[in-house]
Amino acid sequence: MADSWTGMQEDAAATRTPLAPSETARVLVASYERLLGRRPTRPLAELLLAHIWLENRRGSAIFEHDWGNITAGASWTGPIWRPPWYDPPPDAPARILRLHELMLQGKAPSAFRSYPSHDVGSTAYLRLVHGARYRPLITAAASGDVAAFARAVHDTGYCPDCKPGPTAHTLAQLRDDIRESGALGELGAGATDDDLAFAIALAALRYAADNW
């Protein structure tokens, strides 16, 4: 199938690059600190990590270091990987064939971003959710409000098919698992309004500087 987007580098092989759940927590916190110059608060880290666990099956289904399954849109000129529904055989499972039809209608992605490492992929995810379009995810996560975070995932278009009610239920379960595992160690319990404003402003500046 011809790619209608120019400037993309083809990457036909979608290589699985999994991480253990505990490692996803470690990399997320380290990337956040490297990007923003400070560690995330516990509520923020818990919900961002739960989001990654939801998107990437607790780290077992990360492909090409693509944290959060970030799609490759028209402005992306880096390497890509193709999902299994991009060019499926006629005898593919019904779900794959349905996604292929949705892709042809512009309702499902045809390409995802490929990154060289987990550090780069996790940082790309953090930059994305700190950008103007997806910033409601950061605001909701910082508050610790699972329902608000689930609504933001849906309403911002990060995952239009993720119904807020069921998504909130799953995220709450994942957050409980994160707490029980102790994966986030001794992160602080919460943030002040000034802390949150500072984090968002700094992220916005770095987002703009990188022209992401």
Would you list the DSSP string of 162-202?
S-HHHHHHHHHHHHHHHHHHTTTTT--S---HHHHHHHHHH
Residue 202: predicted pLDDT: 46
Nearest to 16 by CA among 71, 66, 54: 66
Task: Give the whole-angstrom CA distance, residue 185 versus residue 139.
Answer: 22
In the chain, the domains with their CATH numbers are 21-74+117-210 (1.10.530)
% helix / strand / coil in the chain, to the nearest 5? Answer: 55, 5, 40
Residue 88: predicted pLDDT: 95
Residue 196: predicted pLDDT: 53
Task: Give the whole-angstrom CA distance, residue 202 versus residue 35.
Answer: 9
Residue 172: predicted pLDDT: 98
Its pTM stands at 0.83
- What pLDDT tens digit does each residue of the chain (212 aa) get? 233 333 456 664 789 999 999 999 999 999 999 999 999 999 999 999 999 999 999 999 999 999 999 999 888 999 999 999 999 999 999 999 999 999 999 999 999 999 999 999 999 999 999 999 999 999 999 999 999 999 999 999 999 999 999 999 999 999 999 999 999 987 866 544 444 554 454 444 444 444 44
